[in-house]
Chains A and B, each alone.
Chain A
Amino acid sequence: MSKPKLAIFDFTCCEGCQLQIVNLEEEILNLISLVNPVEWREAMSEHIGNYDIALIEGSITRPEDEEKLRRIRKRAKILVALGSCASTGGVNKLKNNFDLQEVKHCVYGQAADMPHLHTAPTKAIDEVVQVDYKIYGCPIDRREFAYIVRCLALGKSPEIPDYPVCVECKLQENICRYEYDEICLGPVTRAGCGARCPSCATWCFGCRGHIEEPNLSAAKEIMVRYGKTFQDLKNRMNIFGSKQRYADE
């Protein structure tokens, strides 16, 4: 069996998820024993025409990127969203809370109207093309990435958690952040990170996005019990939850 051809592309992002792949370090040799990387700007200079698996990092913020993404989709058998920006739009969706002209002027000042600074509302990649799998997280979890690649190489669907971060927090025997009077997004956020932030004594920022059926009305109602307001909750959700599904309820 020939090795599946793997290509990695990046759109609007910090490229930190690709860096997590590079950070596999010695395991990267295992990775390339399994797949044949044919395009990967952050780690190699070669290019080739078609691929079995395309990993897409970053969100879509310019109309021309949509075209590029559609071309990749046509050439890829399996297309995988890599990280928060690609899977949910991530931090980049903060922009969608504001008027685009205002955003451009805030960032670029007088140069805001230069043609190459054209910008559009942020989209997750599944708002442009069909996505087969999503690898969540800001950044992605290396172990989960490695597991998903092995599953794809084997032709098996990976099991991606659709339960809240609370599950992993309990397994780690962490003290609940609500006991520290903090608003933690763990109860509505998809697990898979191993409850990394609460295990490091801070609240969950919700970087992996909501589970499929988040109980956001409960999240809202319990604020009173913890001496907080709905606005406090919305503020906490701004970073990774802006303009997500259910975000404005």
Chain B
Amino acid sequence: MSIKKLDQAALDTWVNKLIANQSVYGVQAKGERFAFGPLSKAEDLRLDYDVTILPPKKYFQPQREDLLEFNAKGEYTSVTETEPFILFGVHPYDVVAIAQMDTIFSADNYDVHYMTRRHNATIVACDVQNASANVFAGCMNTATVTKGFDLLLTKIGEFYLAEAKTPKGEKLLTDLPGGLEPGNLDLARREQVWKDNTGLLRKHKLKCNPQELPGLLEKSYYAPVWEAKAKLCFSCGSCNLVCPTCYCFDVQDDVNWDLQSGKRTRAWDGCLLKDFAAVAGGHNFRSSRTDRYRHRFYRKAKYVAEKLNQIACVGCGRCISACVPKIANPVEVFNELL
């Protein structure tokens, strides 16, 4: 696959050309923070962002989506979105998270809604240029990536290197006007960015290897930290909702005014919410705040981890920032258990 070297002007021309051909969602400023949104021109693109408020999972599993339309005769039609799009500027830790979600949504039950969007997507990853306040991707081995994207952009000084990883990425490069061939020095500088990022993206320092976390949790179920932290928990689910590897959802039916037809929708849910584990008959099998608080960490670093052989935390630090009482920091909790 090819690698091109391009300056800011070439990048802008290229991005505008991509926008002219298909939908592009890219990172843009939102107040003093950043968010992925529909990109209308290259100058709005902020590849220097630190972290987005929500992860890009919203393009594969939207906050709320229609699953199917039904009628009183028992007929139904699945709703799927089929428009191809480019997701531009995904940080490595989010690339890792998307790859994990791909496994979740394609393994046991193949989720046609998620997977259709996923197949329609071209992912342009971008190495981190500015570390966010709470990122710890360096500790989770997600500061850099070698797969899970179609094309990778890395800023080296005044230039970008764009490396295609898949035929989809290669195709994007064919639209690139006047890219230069990178020299050995450029490639060496990119190596240095990767090396630096692995060290820089450690605003919180995990005092063990992530592979040790399932074992650590194995012996920590009754640790005092759960209750101590949960006392301040609002059960607001913010830590779940901003997490790139939380994928739980709630399904609801709503009928139209004719009461003869309707649609089934699903929306993001979170295990910290009080009614998350409420079942028929009014029983709630995680009715205490402490149980719910603990569950998230077990889910991240034990249950999913043992199933997929990957920790379900990529160190983006979004939960740390989103938590109003500041109790969601996984590094703080894991270090306390050590």
Contacts and interface: CB of A to CB of B under 8 A. Distances in A.
Given A212-B274, A213-B274, A222 B325 contact: yes
B195 interface: no
Given A30-B257, A221-B232, A211 B252 contact: no
A150 B237 contact: no
Interface of B: 30-33, 35, 53-54, 58, 63-64, 231-238, 241-242, 252, 254-257, 259, 267-268, 270, 273-275, 289, 322, 324-326
Interface in A49-93: none
A176 B32 CA distance: 11
Contacts of A47: none
A221 to B, nearest CB: 6
A186 to B, nearest CB: 8
Contacts of A34: 257, 259
Nearest to A159: B252
Contacts of A41: none
A178 to B, nearest CB: 5
A164, A170, A178, A215: which has the most chain B beta carbons within 10 Å? A170
Contact of B235 (A147, A178, A213): A213
B255 to A, nearest CB: 6
Contact of B322 (A31, A150, A170, A188): A170
Contacts of B257: 27, 30-31, 33-34, 150
B275 A218 contact: no
Contacts of B275: 162-163
Interface of A: 27, 30-31, 33-34, 147, 150, 153-154, 159, 162-164, 166-167, 170-171, 173-176, 178, 186-188, 211-213, 215, 217-219, 221-222, 225
B239 to A, nearest CB: 10
Given A175-B30, A215-B232, A167 B274 contact: no
The 7 closest A-B pairs by CB, nearest first: A166-B236, A30-B257, A170-B241, A187-B234, A171-B63, A164-B236, A218-B232
Contact of A215 (B238, B289, B326): B289
Contact of A170 (B31, B232, B237, B289): B237
A166 B289 contact: no
A65 to B, nearest CB: 33
A43 to B, nearest CB: 18
Given A150-B259, A167-B236, A175 B273 contact: no
B265 to A, nearest CB: 11
Given A34-B259, A171-B64, A175-B33, A163 B237 contact: yes
A147 B255 CA distance: 8
A175 B54 CA distance: 10
Given A171-B64, A218-B232, 10 more contacts: A150-B257, A159-B252, A164-B237, A166-B234, A166-B236, A171-B268, A186-B236, A187-B324, A213-B235, A222-B324
26 contacts: A150-B254, A150-B257, A159-B252, A163-B235, A163-B237, A163-B273, A164-B235, A166-B236, A166-B237, A166-B238, A166-B324, A167-B241, A167-B273, A170-B54, A171-B241, A171-B267, A171-B268, A173-B30, A175-B30, A175-B32, A178-B324, A218-B231, A218-B233, A221-B232, A222-B325, A225-B325
A218 B328 CA distance: 14
B325 A175 contact: no
A164 to B, nearest CB: 4
B241 A222 contact: no
Nearest to A218: B232
B257, B259, B268, B289: which has the most chain A beta carbons within 10 Å? B257
Given A188-B234, A213-B235, A218-B232, A176 B268 contact: no
B108 to A, nearest CB: 26
Contacts of B238: 166-167, 170, 176
